[in-house]
Amino acid sequence: MTLDKYTKVGKILFWIGLAIFVVGLGFNENLTDAPEQLAGISRPIMITGIVVVFLTNFFRKKKTDRK
């Protein structure tokens, strides 16, 4: 997967969204022995990460700017 078609903001949003998703995945009670308080917020954190990754699509370079 190449991120060349995204602007700098799009690339940053992608990596932040991926990190947020991984943190939420780490709090998931099915995968780890996380405390119940953290396990309860794991799904909203993962959904937030997915939404942020989805938002990167709005930060594409114009076709004339691509190499």
Instruction: Give the pLDDT of residue 29.
Output: 74
The pTM is what?
0.80
**Is 49 inside any structural domain?**
yes
**Is 55 inside any structural domain?**
yes
**Is 44 inside any structural domain?**
yes
Instruction: Give the pLDDT of residue 5.
Output: 86
**Is 2 inside any structural domain?**
no
Instruction: Give the pLDDT of residue 21.
Output: 95
Domain range spanning residue 43?
Answer: 8-59
**Is 53 inside any structural domain?**
yes
**Is 66 inside any structural domain?**
no
Total domains, the chain:
1
**Is 65 inside any structural domain?**
no
Single-letter amino acid, residue 3: L
What is the mean pLDDT of each successive set of 10 residues along the chain, which is 67 residues long?
84 95 85 72 92 92 73
